[in-house]
Amino acid sequence: MKIKINETLFKIIISTILFVLALFFKDYSIYVAFLVISYLVVSFDVFKEGIKKLFHGEVFDESTLMIIATISAFIIGEYPEAVMVMLLFEFGEYLSDLATSNSKKSITKLMDLRSDYVNLKENNGIQKVDVREVKVGDIFVVKPGEKVPLDGIIQEGSTFLDTSSLTGESVLREAGVFDKVLSGYVNESGVITVKATSVFASSTASKIINMLENSMEKKTNTEKFITRFSKIYTPVVVVLAILIVIIPVMFGGNFNDWLYKALVFLVTACPCALVISVPLGFFCGIGRSSKEGILVKGSDGLEKLSKLEAILFDKTGTITEGKFEVREIVSNEVSQDELLKLAAYGEYYSNHPIARTITQAYDKSIDEESIKNFKEISGYGITATVLDKKLIIGNEKLFDQEKISVPSVDTLGTTIYIAYDGKYIGYIVTGDKIKTSALNLVDRLKYESINQIVMLSGDNKDVVSKVASKTGIKEYYASLLPADKVAILEKIKKDKLTAFVGDGINDAPVIKLADLGISMGGVGSDAAIEASDIVLMRDDLDKIITAIKIAKMTQRIVIFNIVFALSFKFLMLILAVFGVASIWMAVFADVGVTLLAVLNALRIMKKKL
């Protein structure tokens, strides 16, 4: 932890020098004067903070306790103790702030994604301009060693990109013409020319940094408890300290002796360790997650993740790769080429993975003016007017609605039926691959005490059951509409804390409704970032296990800090009441417990999972 000279440390040093000098003066008035000046120098910020909080209605906090304790020490003539209490308190606060600041800087450095300038390509050459001046559609150049300043599409050149700051992936990614690049990537080799698809404010880097900066706004139940506890705890401590003086004195006790014990009690009771270490613990958990390529939108997301009981997965793009390929074309009264052409025209405006697969398989130019009245029916398929005739593409449910009979197809892939001008003309079978990380996912989740694992899909039962069988998922549902997924989720979450994992676009409503929404591979997707509580920046199911481990580790460390701090405080309070502890011991105990709790919280950033 690197010491930083600032105004607080400067005041502590001056106050310490004055305190030491006071001890060399035999003249009592000079001795007291130096101690008073030393006290005023070091306590100025504490009084300032206390008065500010007083005007905001926050009467009782650690500043109040220190002020009451030290002024009372002056009243009974314990001048050195008063100064040392404030000196040690301020030094402890300084070290705690320093540790917190260093932690935040290391986290901010992890997320130091934004570039301040862009090499903008203009008619008169390349100009270095402020990144905020660039518009969508502008062309810019990224040289080797530079960060990609804005999201875009490569127009010229090829390179290897370091994506670790966003995804946590150490392997360089090769990219060339027409590949998408995101702000925050680092260009490692060739010069690339990029067309901007975002402005600065809406770039991936800006969205991620804003998420991290606002992540502590969503408080956990633990943090809310500590806040409520402190508001009750501090005034109770003050009242008890007063009673410690009043009751014994009423029965003949020495006022100064019992006042001293009350001061030790007040200093010991200071809740610094809890107030500082608990929020810092969750902040470190969020920072560690970002380092691993996991964006957590709030500390409450970490707490829920640590207590998760059930997890629901979308199939396509989550359990499977979402990279379809055309496996079979079966035509009826038209050629296979004609069937594929009509299917490609019909799917042209859809963003569904199957639609993209069909248009890529066609691999020819499409006359957009030939396509009219395009309509995508979620969970069913597509209708459109192509070359002035109605085209229907979708599953059996859509064709049942349209009262068009289709053959039953037994295949591992997804069957897409096609009708044109009111007649069935054939079907196309597309297939998807199961992710390698999904094959042992069930066992790993059960090891983390998540025993209900469910897969939801709009695909037919045969396809879904085969995927479930290969992945070991016992509970699955097929042929679902978005509303069906919502109904299943609502039923499960009545009894269990439930997460839903999806691609963040088609499943946004279900992700939003879950106790915890998790988006897979959601970098650059507004729907993913908006709907979910956690965004996995790599399309990798292993990151879910990593996120759970970080959440559980964070929760363990935070709970340990709470138990440790309260137990030690309780022991010292008993010693204070019985006169065993001195005010110096109380301050050392308070500062020591706070620093130990802070250092324990910082372990989250480094501890092996």
pLDDT of residue 106: 54
Mean pLDDT of 176-190: 89
Mean pLDDT of 5-29: 87
pLDDT of residue 137: 93
Mean pLDDT of 497-522: 83
pLDDT bucket at 394, cuts 50 / 70 / 90 = very high
The yes-or-no verdict on residue 524 having pLDDT over 50 is no
| Residue 314 bears catalytic tag | yes
User: CA angle at residue 25 from 581 to 14, to 5 degrees?
Assistant: 70
The domain locations on the chain are: 7-108+215-282+553-605, 117-202, 294-321+434-537, 325-431
pLDDT in tens, 329-373: 999 989 999 999 999 999 999 888 788 889 999 988 899 999 999
Two tokens, residue 179: 């590949």
pLDDT-above-90 percentage for the chain: 35
Do residues 271 and 62 make contact, with C-beta atoms less than 8 angstroms apart? yes
The HSE-up count of residue 593 (CA atoms within 13 Å, CB side) is 28
Tell me which amino acid residue 12 is: I
Residue 81: C-alpha distances to residues 65, 88, 89, 485, 568 (Å): 15, 10, 12, 66, 22
Which residue of the set 138, 314, 432, 515 is catalytic?
314
Kindly report the CATH number that applies to the domain delimited by 117-202.
2.70.150.10
pLDDT of residue 271: 72
pLDDT in tens, 78-87: 788 788 878 8
Kindly report the CATH number that applies to the domain delimited by 325-431.
3.40.1110.10
pLDDT in tens, 70-80: 887 787 777 88
pLDDT of residue 21: 92
pLDDT bucket at 404, cuts 50 / 70 / 90 = very high
H runs (alpha helix) in 514-578: 526-531, 542-577
Q: Tell me, yes or no, if the two domains 117-202 and 294-321+434-537 fold the same way.
A: no
Q: Pick the closest to residue 194 from 217, 207, 176 (CA basis).
A: 176
Two tokens, residue 482: 């978005």
Mean pLDDT of 89-106: 66
pLDDT of residue 164: 74
pLDDT of residue 134: 92
Distance of CA 165 to the CA centre of its chain: 14
pLDDT in tens, 195-251: 999 898 877 777 766 666 665 556 677 777 776 776 777 788 888 888 988 999 998
Residue 521: C-alpha distances to residues 173, 238, 321, 333 (Å): 15, 52, 11, 41
pLDDT of residue 48: 84
Query: What pTM was estimated for this model as a whole?
Result: 0.71
Residue 260: C-alpha distances to residues 76, 150, 247, 586 (Å): 8, 63, 14, 12
Average pLDDT, the chain: 84
Domain topology for 294-321+434-537: Rossmann fold (3.40.50)
Mean pLDDT of 383-387: 93
> Does 263 or 418 have the greater pLDDT score?
418
The yes-or-no verdict on residue 392 having pLDDT over 90 is yes
The yes-or-no verdict on residue 99 having pLDDT over 70 is no
Out of 129-138, 176-185, 498-507, pick the least confident.
498-507
